[in-house]
Amino acid sequence: MAENLAFLINLAVGVLSVVLILDALASFVLEPWHPARRFLDRLADPFVQPFRRVLPPMGGLDFSVFAALIVIQLVGQLLAKMLGR
């Protein structure tokens, strides 16, 4: 049972990481009103917004996505380790 939960946590962390990376890449190539970008923004913003409040853009680059990725990866690893995997 614990291994199944650890697998689901790792899967969720992986999917969320891909969404965050795709959202960051889409911000470079798609206009803000493009439907695909708006969809990705709706998925990623709840995880990135807390970091945007703390980390302002530096030199035109938004490092909040990287901070969110690091924290999500660390929390995922911690939860998986607590479940015994």
Between the two ends of the chain, the Cα-to-Cα distance in Å is 11
Spatial neighbors of 6 by CB under 8 A, at least 6 apart, are: 79, 80, 83, 84, 85
d(CA 19, CA 41): 9
The predicted model gives 14-21 an average pLDDT of 97
How far CA 40 is from CA of 20, 33, 61, 82, in Å, comes to 8, 11, 18, 30
For the chain, what are the domain ranges? 2-82
The structure's pTM equals 0.88
Q: Which residue has the tokens 């030199």?
A: 59
For 9-33, what is the mean pLDDT?
Answer: 95
Give the tens place of pLDDT for each residue, 36-84: 999 999 999 999 999 999 998 888 888 999 999 999 999 999 998 888 6
pLDDT at 85: 56
